[in-house]
Amino acid sequence: MSTETSRIEPAEITTDQVAHLAHLARINLTQQEIEESFEDPFAVRLLPDSPRFAAQARYFNLGMTAGGVGVFSVYRTNGRQIRVLATRVFEPEERFFYQRKMNQSLGQ
HEC profile for 6-70? Answer: CCCCHHHEECCHHHHHHHHHHHCCCHHHHHHHHHCCCCEEEECCCHHHHCCCCEEEEEECCCCCE
Query: Whole-angstrom Cα distance, residue 70 to residue 99?
Result: 10
One digit per residue, pLDDT tens: the chain, 108 residues?
A: 444 444 445 445 555 555 655 555 566 788 899 999 999 999 999 887 777 665 677 889 999 999 999 999 999 888 888 899 989 999 999 999 999 999 999 987
pTM, full prediction = 0.71
What residue numbers bound the domain in which 91 lies? 2-105
Task: Count up the domains in the chain and report the number.
Answer: 1
